[in-house]
Amino acid sequence: MSTHSDRTEGTEPAWVLVTRREVVSRITDKSFLLGTVLMVVLLVGFIGFSAWQDEKTETVTLGATPDAVAMASAIVDGAPEVDDQVKVTLVELDDDAAAEAALHEDEVDAWLHPVDGGWELTSESSEQDALTDVARTVVRQQVLADNAAGAGTTVEQLEAGSAVSTAFLRGDAEKAAVAEAVGFVFVFLFYFAALIFGMQLASSVIEEKQSRIVEIIAAAIPLRHLLAGKVLGNTALALIQLLVYLVVGLVGLSFTSYKSYVPALSGPTAWFIGFFLAGFIALACLWAVAGSLASRTEDLQATSTPLTMLMLVMFFGGLSLDGRSQVIASFIPPVSAVVMPKRILAGGVEWWEPLVALGLLAVFAAVTVAVGERLYRRALLQTGGRVGLRQAWSAAE
């Protein structure tokens, strides 16, 4: 058993000093700061581009010969009702030759003219997707109205009973799309933080072990305090970075057409932070164990392979699971750390389900820390090669 005092000569426990060292050394590191700033810039840029795209109006020029002016005028007038981000401008052309010349010289984006069985929209070298969609809808409506009038009826009577609508048991299509997108962000952020900070944590453990510095540290403080400080320090750093990304994301979202969803996302985001903390602490402890089992940096790939596979299962499970399998996985740690927040986003979750899932995840984290602490202490001071799990578990302290 360790005979070290849990406190240093001062008044602070040893784990507090280690935690502070981890946070200060990393938060003042240029690569950490640059990486965080770069991610924020990319996030702001993506949100800004999305907002710009949402507000952007595409202006297209439609050419029409005399036999198509009436239909082209209908397209110009009907475009805002079909797609309010498409503005069509009409250019009247004398004949087919003038239309082809206008296309070649980029005076018009497309030329509308009648053909056998309907209408044709001719462009110079590539299809005008937005204009094509608008033209198809308006032309269909116009022709249907003319045919209905010729038959002595109306479009409404012809289309009576033909409408097909969609419905969702939970929310609507736009809400479901937003929930799916934010759910992906949650899963990605968890995977990104656990992988980056976990690898750095394991590498720092190996460096201290390989340089024999850990033997000096072990003579001054208990190894469990060293482990606690490393895990808590990296957890604090990961949480700070996560909060920065979430705040930037939510604030940025408030400037887009999806701003009405921001209040509804606040609750799921808070739940995600709770699940993130419990899941990250468990995985950080396992990363520290992976580092303690290695004697050289080259050994880390082998000692961390099971952990890397677990994280991949969490990542792809969080993205792909649905239905009953998603419900079951949302209660199984550590996968529940990413699956339950996605379910909360989608809605339809009973109030007790997140509490139970978070409780199970917290128990898993506690057990992982207890087991990991024993493996870490017994493997950290063993040198001369890679240490196996069984060897570390049974080794004397």
For residues 73 and 103, membership in a common domain is answered with yes
Region 241-253 average pLDDT: 92
Determine the pLDDT at residue 46: 84
The residues near 371 (Cβ < 8 Å, ≥ 6 apart) are none
Q: What is the mean pLDDT of the chain?
A: 86
Q: How confident is the model at residue 169 (pLDDT cuts 50, 70, 90)?
A: very low
Average pLDDT for 342-365? 94
323 compared with 392, residue with greater pLDDT: 323
Asked whether residue 165 is domain-assigned, the answer is: no
Q: Given the structure tokens 């740690």, which residue do they identify?
A: 333
Q: How far is CA 366 from CA 28, 89, 265, 355, 371, in A?
A: 30, 66, 29, 16, 9
CATH number at residue 73: 3.40.190.10
3-class SS string, 226-295:
HHHHHHHHHHHHHHHHHHHHHHHHHHHHCCCCCHHHHHHHHHHHHHHHHHHHHHHHHHHHHHHHHHHHCC
Residue-wise pLDDT for 56-90, tens only, equals 677 888 888 888 888 888 888 888 888 777 888 88
207 and 140 within one domain? no
Q: Is the pLDDT of residue 159 over 80?
A: no
Token couple for 5: 């005092």
Same domain (yes/no): 178, 117: no
By residue range, what is the domain housing residue 324? 14-51+172-394
Report whether pLDDT(168) > 80.
Answer: no
| pTM of the entire predicted model | 0.75
Question: Tens digits of per-residue pLDDT, 4-38?
Answer: 556 555 577 888 999 999 999 888 888 888 989 99
Domain-embedded: residue 3: no
CA distance 132 to 123: 10
Considering the domain architecture, whether residues 47 and 61 belong to the same structural domain is answered as: no
Q: Which two tokens stand for residue 246?
A: 């979430």
Residue 243: other Cβ atoms inside 10 A: 12
Kindly state whether residue 9 falls inside one of the protein's structural domains. Answer: no
215 and 290, same structural domain?
yes
Q: For 120-134, how does the pLDDT look when each residue is reduced to its tens digit (9 = 90+)?
A: 888 877 777 788 888
Q: Is residue 6 part of a domain?
A: no
Q: Are residues 38 and 82 in the same domain?
A: no
Angle at 333 between CA 327 and CA 339, to 5 degrees: 40
The answer to whether 143 and 117 are in contact (CB under 8 A) is no
Q: Same domain for 137 and 269?
A: no
- What CA–CA distance (Å, rounded) separates 328 from 59? 50
For residues 275 and 381, state if they share a domain.
yes
Residue 7 lies in a domain: no
Q: Which residue among 158, 189, 214 closes a domain? A: 158
Task: Give the span between the Cα atoms of 197 and 194, in whole angstroms.
Answer: 6
Tens digit of each residue's pLDDT (9 = 90 or more) over 357-380: 999 999 999 999 999 999 998 888
Q: Is residue 343 part of a domain?
A: yes
Query: What pLDDT sits at residue 2?
Result: 44
Number of structural domains the chain divides into: 2
- Same domain? For 212 and 353 the reply is yes
Same domain, 74 and 213: no
Coil vs helix vs strand at 120: strand
Please list the alpha-helical segments (H only) found in the chain: 14-27, 30-55, 69-82, 96-104, 129-150, 155-158, 173-210, 213-220, 223-253, 262-293, 300-320, 323-329, 336-346, 352-380, 389-394
- Do 217 and 80 belong together in one domain? no
Task: Examine the fold and report which residue of 135, 158, 181 is the final residue of a domain before the chain moves on.
Answer: 158
Cα gap 207→210, rounded to integer Å = 5
231 with 360, same domain: the answer is yes
Say how far apart CA 140 and CA 335 lie, in whole Å: 50
Virtual CA dihedral for 66, 68, 69, 72, nearest 10 degrees? -160
